[in-house]
Amino acid sequence: MTLFGWVIRSLFHYRRMHLAVVLAAAAATATLTGALLVGDSVRATLRYSFHTRLGNVDRVISARERFFTEDLGRRMQKSGIDTAALLQIGGMVTTGDGTVRVNQLHILGVDDRFFNMSPAGKTPEGFTGGAVLVNTALAARLNVTAGRPTEVVLRVDNPAAISRNLVLAPNKNSTIAMRLPVAGVADDSHFGRFSLEANQQEPLNLFVPIAWLQKQIERDGKANLLLISNPSGELTEEILTEILDREWRLEDAEARLVKRGRRVFELSSSRVFLDHSLGSAAFETQSDASRLLTYFVNGIRRGDRMTPYSMVTAADRKGAFDKILPPDMTDDQIVINEWLADDLGANVGDQLTLIYYIPGDWQTLTEARRNFRIRRVIPIEGVAADPDLTPDLPGLSDSENCRDWDPSLPIDLDRIRDKDEAYWDNYHGTPKAFITLAAGQAMWANLYGDLTAVRFQGGASDRDRLAENIRGAIDPSTLGLTLLPVREKGARAMSGGTDFGQLFLGLSMFLIISGILLTWLLFVFSIEGRKQQTGMLLAVGFTAKRIRKIYLLEGLLVALIGALGGTLGALVYTRVLIWSLSNAWQGAIAGMAIQYSSSMQSLSIGFVCGFAIALLAMLRVLHRQMRTSAHTLLSGSESTADSSSGVKKRAWIGWVLSVIFFSAAILLVIMSGSLGGSAMAGAFFGAGILLLVSMMIWIRKALDLMGARPAGSMSSLASLALRNSARSKGRSMAVVAMLACGVFMVVAVGANRKDAGRGAELRTSGTGGFALYAASSVPVARDLDSVKGRDTWGIDSSKLGETSFVNLRVRDGDDASCLNLNRAQEPRILGVSVDELARRGAFSFQEIQKGAHQESPWQLLTQDPGDGAVPAIGDYPTIYWGLGKKIGDTLVYRNRKGEAITLRIVAMMRSSILQGSLIISEKAMARCFPEVEGYRAWLIDTPFDRKSEISAYLTKRMADAGLSVETSIARLALFARMEDTYLSIFLVLGGLGLILGCIGLGLIVVRNLLERQGELAMLRAVGFSRGTLLRMVCYEHIYLLIAGLFAGLICAIVSVAPSIHAAAGQLPFGLLTAMALLIGASGVFWVVIATGVSLRGDILTPLRNE
Amino acid sequence: MLELINVTKGYGNPDKPGYVPAIRSLSMKLDPGESMAVLGPSGCGKSTLLNLIGALDKPTGGRINFMGWDLTDLDEKKLAFIRNREIGFVFQMHHLMPQFTVLENVLIPTLAWPNTGKQAVYRKRAAELIEKMGITECMDRRPGELSGGQRQRTAVARALINSPKLLLADEPTGSLDHDTAVAVMDLLNTLNRTENISLVVVTHAVDLAGRFERIYTLRDGRLTREGSAS
């Protein structure tokens, strides 16, 4: 017989006991491995989402609200790279019968080149002009089914030629509607999920041919997104940048170089103002270049005479302008034409006043005036008679008559006289006055530019050379032509998101610990049951080391089988979890359709960890067992190794520790008063745990005291039971600790469940006191609280009553809310009016920058940190969980001009309806991201009892803007759903852990009773009935259950005190009480069952055998 | 071969109340091939004495010399080796391992230390011992299939497998009926004589104790000689 043979024989002989150990170890392993496999599955699903949304796309050039030529892609293709030009525009769609409307749509003008980059690599069938393709998410919303002809009414955003933020931008035709048939559904392989945003949620995509869309929005040959494929990975960023530098043209920056007169070229922009970088670079290319800034003034006054609405040009004194502007002309002098001099009766030396509007950041206008002294009066000839000095102003330049002007500016057409009309007829937009460029820029420079044109001298053949010189002098990234590494960013977002493996490990921790404890407990019983055998082996000369080796080898095989079984079981368990995540627990993964996946790595880790944990539990048991002397083991009694002094020493240590833990808990509670937010909650949670540990020591001490009570104290069955419960203190404490921990976790976690609806009307709640939240599909230019803003949409203020709006600017970016399982790389930014939120005291703050004023955290957004960074605020889930950041951390963005904009987090709100975005001041938004147009979201302040009515009214009135209105409570509940689902998962898995714990409890009872067979037989012999014995044994364990239940409950209440305080009336006390009682009842159930089973049969047999 | 000099053993702190003395200043000597029985009431320290002689426990005072070793001065590994090679134990409750056959149970002590290449020798000796114990027909049976006497014979065979110089028996007949008890005591006596094994038997049974050369009574932790077998 060999040692291995010995082990195999023992394994078989004690197979029942071992089977129980195997099952417990398997449960722990399956839970652990299952958690890792859930992580694998989520990762695989995110990988799928990443591949289907980007296909072969590696980089993009995104012009956002502006356009480049579609030809840019073709030119770049000559360098051997694949490109696809797109038109991506926001919009909305309704079904042909108008019953269903879907907002926040991505309308994509595409062609075959786009679909060639999709995972399928080809264009879906039926994609032709005059019909649309929808993706599966949109098809589901529109109820589109194969084989059933469907028509939709598509409304697309009609991008303005100039920024909507400027008052000059036209208000009319901001959207275009058209009725189209649906040709089919683009599935995932055909780019149905195409999106540049790192988000696992399927976007709402609608595809139309690019040529058709270009025609509809009058942007022939234009695109605003260029996809670049680099499947071989050979083209480095440097090479691609070089190709872009070589191939871009002025037209790609919405600039044009046109001939003006015989030997003059002019660089201008269809967006009225030239980009700063373009204007500066163009001016530098040629020494005779002349910069122009032509502006529309409201009036030119001399004394009581006024010429309304005229053009004034500010220019460098170069080229043709050296004939107009005298060499020594100063910035307070003006040159006027004869028509104006005649109209105003003005002469050289007279003072004139220019009255003009200063455009504010967002469609605001301030009328200003500046005085000039007339330096010269010139005839209307040469360059002074050039109407092309005036840029194309929408609603103005294209008008035949002055009275047809519709420039969106607040002008009074009644002020236009016949002679003004006549001037327009004869000279059109020819400027009536000229000033120095410095004077013009001092008055009219704005965020969108400080020049309207640059003029150059040159012959006809010089155009291309000139264009090349200008192009060569400028970095295209300053014009928004930047290569964005979307694939790299997407991969980073995918791998940086929440690790669901770890998350589920955390959620399953109680279950895993229960499994481990059960493994340990069963192995303890297995080894304890053989302690006389162990004693005999020691007596016949086996060393403790050799015996441990034999048992360990046996345990190793048991652990191996358990871990292997658990790993296999995990394959089933994971599918159950995934099924749950796809159904009842959908909220945990933000509704993502999760796909099962398992990696060898996770299976191996799960197996090894499960095996190692089981083995460690066994090692611990063996270590204890081998410390007991052989003669003690042989006698079958409990260890007598403890000397009385040792016991007393440990008793003393126990008391000291309990005092230390209790004092630390009290200290934490006192200190928490000076802490805020999460630190306070953490302090209370810590205090709860410390209190739990000290209470465990007290209970242990109480058991010691009960065990040592004089005999006279035993006067009833209950007191006998109480004394008995103090016998096996280790096991008794296992019962108490298991229950206390279970109740603590269940109550502490359950208390964090919140009802989004409770207290929603409070300003300090997550709704900020706003009843509604709205978002539009297209930018809305004007403030909805203004009369003009409401008039634009036909909103009747009397119907709104006391409703008011907080307008939000939206700089698109990644959704950093908990609904996005990817790690947001460049989160969405909201621009808010700080005063509007500060005035209302909206939302509450969890943490603010150190040293900041506590009363008005919103004002932090207006402060200048001094290092050029922009202060930003977000809510806790966004910053901490979504971005993995903290107060003081920074994020770097690039604006359209290619400038790096650094945002610094200065405060964290509590979870709110603004989750997923960072918030900066509206002013900072204008300064740093001037490309952001209009308003796209609103916090609506209206009485909560009118929310349905106001929502319906606004949705109807602003249907053309694709306005979606949702209640703040629903929005908050959406975000809270994930957290609540996690809590549910924790409770369910924790519940399973408790069931395992209760099984352990039952086993302890059975084991105790087996060891006390003789004693029970004696009690039966002296007249105790079976029922009395049953009651006595039940009492013994129920005392322990009650102790555990109360210890857990008290400590849990301490740990969640801040939640109770913060959410008075919101805590589900009923549910928590029910759960605590359920745990207690479950414990009682197992005790009664185990006792009943143990006391079955003839319990007098042991006595008879004696 | 075995000498106890002023051996004491107690539980607790001798200077404090609650100290329980089990053996008090006990001295005795046992020569090779000698046999002795120790009598005494329950709780007098008989088993403690046997544990001390058998190197299962260490005294709180005095010295124990066994075959030239001072047992009070050896480490646990050396003591285990001595227990394995020089001392055989027979317990009241047999402590046979239920998963093994009689033959395998007898062979168990041979596995306590490396025994490469000696398995056949041990196997042969085990078979001889089993035959000597008169339980050859039980060789392949498991303990659950044996009578009390057969179990105790198996335990005796197990104690002899390493040819020990000293055999210690703690109430070897405590769980047996009278006839079987007599048979087991006879067997131990025979072994003492034929194998020249020193024998220490702790028992309650005065009539059975009379079969050994010397009889001692242990009372209040002290050993008193009662007489010897005729």
- A215-248 confidence digits (pLDDT tens): 988 889 999 999 999 877 777 888 889 999 999 9
Distance of alpha carbon A652 from alpha carbon B201, whole angstroms: 44
The reported pLDDT for the residue numbered A1080 is 80
In the predicted model, is pLDDT for residue B112 greater than 60? yes
Give which of A784, A786, A756 is closest to A771, Cα–Cα.
Answer: A756
Q: Name the pLDDT band for A439 (thresholds 50, 70, 90).
A: very high
For residue B159, list chain A residues with Cβ-Cβ distance below 8 A. 540
- Residue of chain B minimizing CA distance to A8: B99
Are the C-beta atoms of A73 and A83 separated by less than 8 Å? yes
Q: pLDDT, tens digit, for every residue of A999-1009?
A: 777 877 787 77
The residue of A526, A540, A632 whose CB has the most chain B CBs within 10 angstroms, and thus the best one to mutate to test that interface, is A540
Is the per-residue pLDDT at A1048 higher than 70?
yes
Q: What is the pLDDT of residues B130-174, one digit of tens each?
A: 998 889 999 999 998 998 889 988 998 999 898 899 999 888 887
Shortest Cα–Cα distance, A1006 to chain B (Å): 22
Question: What pLDDT, in 10s, does the model give residues A62-113?
Answer: 887 789 999 999 999 888 889 999 999 989 999 888 888 899 899 999 999 9
- Residues B98-116 have a mean pLDDT of 88
Contact state of A541 with B83 under an 8 Å Cβ cutoff: yes
Note the pLDDT of residue A504. 84
- Compute the distance between CA of residue A515 and CA of residue A528 in angstroms, rounded to an integer: 19
Who among B84, B104, B107 is closest to A541 (CB)? B84
pLDDT mean over A332-348: 94
Chain A residues within 8 angstroms (CB to CB) of chain B: 1, 3, 6, 9-10, 12-14, 532-533, 535-544, 546, 629-631, 634-635, 640, 643-645
Contact B111 A3 (CB under 8 A): yes
Least Cα distance to A592 among A491, A508, A497 occurs for A497
Q: What local confidence, expressed as pLDDT, does residue A833 receive? A: 92
Cα separation, A348 vs B78, whole angstroms: 125
Q: What is the pLDDT of residue A1103?
A: 52
According to the model, what pLDDT value does residue A892 have? 93
Both tokens of residue A274? 């030239």
- Look at B91 and A634 and tell me if their CB atoms are within 8 Å: yes
Residue that is written with structure tokens 């320290």 in the block: B45
Q: Which residue of B has its CA nearest to A646?
A: B12
Residues of B in contact with A13 (CB under 8 A): 98-99
Residue A645: the pLDDT is 46
With contacts defined as CB-CB under 8 Å, which chain A residues touch B112? Answer: 537, 540-543, 546
What distances in angstroms separate CA A304 from CA A335, A339, A355, A796, B45, one per listed residue? 20, 17, 13, 40, 131
CA distance A547 to chain B (A): 8
Q: Alpha-carbon distance A7 to B97, whole Å?
A: 12
**Looking at the predicted structure, is the pLDDT value of residue B123 above 60?**
yes
Substitution target from A11, A18, A536, A629 for chain B, most B beta carbons within 10 A: A536
Residue in chain A lying closest to B175 (CA): A1106
Contact A878, A912 (CB under 8 A): no
What is the reported pLDDT for A643? 42
Q: What angle do CA A57, A63, A67 make, to 5 degrees?
A: 115
**Number of residues in chain A:** 1106
Per residue in A512-535, pLDDT tens? 888 888 888 888 888 888 888 888
Whether pLDDT at A710 is above 70: no
Helices A509-528, A544-582: crossing angle, 10 deg rounding? 150
The CA distance from A925 to A919, in Å, is 9
Q: Please judge whether A541 and B98 are an interchain contact, meaning their C-beta atoms are less than 8 angstroms apart.
A: no
Considering only the beta carbons, identify the residue of B56, B95, B104 that sits closest to A1: B104
| Contacts B75 to A, Cβ<8 Å | none
Report chain A's mean pLDDT, rounded to a whole number.
Answer: 85
pLDDT band at A754 (very low <50, low <70, confident <90, very high): low
B12 contacts in chain A (CB < 8 Å): 643-644
- What residues form DSSP beta bridges with A313? A294, A434
Nearest Cα of chain A lies from the Cα of B175 at a distance, in angstroms, of: 10
A630–B56 CB contact, under 8 Å: yes
The pair of three-digit structure tokens given for residue A756, joined into one six-digit string:
């989004």
Which tokens sit at A1083?
């414990």
pLDDT score, position A1106: 47
| Whether A540 and B54 lie within 8 Å, measured CB to CB | no
Measured distance CA(B51)–CA(B59) in Å, rounded: 10
- Per-residue pLDDT at A226: 95
Looking at residue A211, its pLDDT comes to 92
pLDDT digits (tens, 9 = 90+) for A410-424: 778 888 899 999 999
Q: Is the pLDDT of residue A772 over 80?
A: yes
| Contact check, Cβ <8 Å, A546/B112 | yes
Q: Tell me whether residue A62 is exposed, middle or buried, using C-beta atoms within 10 angstroms of its C-beta: 0 to 12, 13 to 18, 19 or more.
A: buried
Q: Is the dihedral of CA A406, A260, A453, A309 positive or negative?
A: negative
**In this model, does residue A640 exceed pLDDT 60?**
no
pLDDT value of position B171: 84
Query: Nearest by CB to A540, which of B16, B18, B89?
Result: B89
Confidence of residue A649 (pLDDT cuts 50, 70, 90): low
Residues of B in contact with A17 (CB under 8 A): none
List, for residues A273-285, the tens digit of each pLDDT value: 898 888 888 888 8
Cβ-based contacts of A533 with chain B (< 8 Å): 95, 97
Q: How far apart are CA A29 and CA A986, in angstroms?
A: 18
Q: Which residue of A has its CA nearest to B80?
A: A541
Model confidence at A939, pLDDT cuts 50, 70, 90, reads very high
Q: Flag the least confident range among A178-192, A577-591, A815-829, A932-946.
A: A577-591
Name the one residue in this structure whose structure tokens are 């998963």. Answer: B99
Which has more pLDDT, A1097 or A1051? Answer: A1051
Six-digit token pair at A898? Answer: 């290619």
Record: contact A640-B11, CB cut-off 8 A? yes
Of the candidates B16, B51, B108, the beta carbon closest to that of A631 is on: B51
Interchain proximity A543–B80, CB inside 8 Å: yes
B54/A539 touch (CB, cutoff 8 Å), yes or no = yes
Crossing angle of helices A1026-1055 and A968-1011, in 10° steps, is 140
Q: What is the pLDDT of residue A641?
A: 40
CB contact under 8 A, B162 and A631: no
Answer whether residue A294 shows pLDDT above 70.
yes
Instruction: Judge: B95–A543 Cβ closer than 8 Å, yes or no.
Output: no
Helices and strands per DSSP (H, E), number in chain A = 35, 30
CB contact under 8 A, A541 and B97: no
**Tens digits of per-residue pLDDT, A865-890?**
778 899 999 998 899 888 888 899 99
Residues with Cβ within 8 Å of residue A786, at least 6 apart in sequence = none
Residue A167's pLDDT band (boundaries 50, 70, 90)? low
**Do the Cβ atoms of A13 and B112 come within 8 Å?**
no
Strand partners of residue A182:
A132
Q: Which burial class, exposed, middle or buried, applies to A740 when counting CB atoms under 10 A from its CB (0-12, 13-18, 19+)?
A: buried
Question: Do A539 and B11 lie within an 8 Å CB cutoff?
Answer: no
Chain B: residues touching A (Cβ < 8 Å): 11-13, 16, 18, 47, 51, 54, 56-57, 76-77, 80-85, 87-89, 91, 93, 95, 97-100, 104, 107-109, 111-113, 158-159, 162
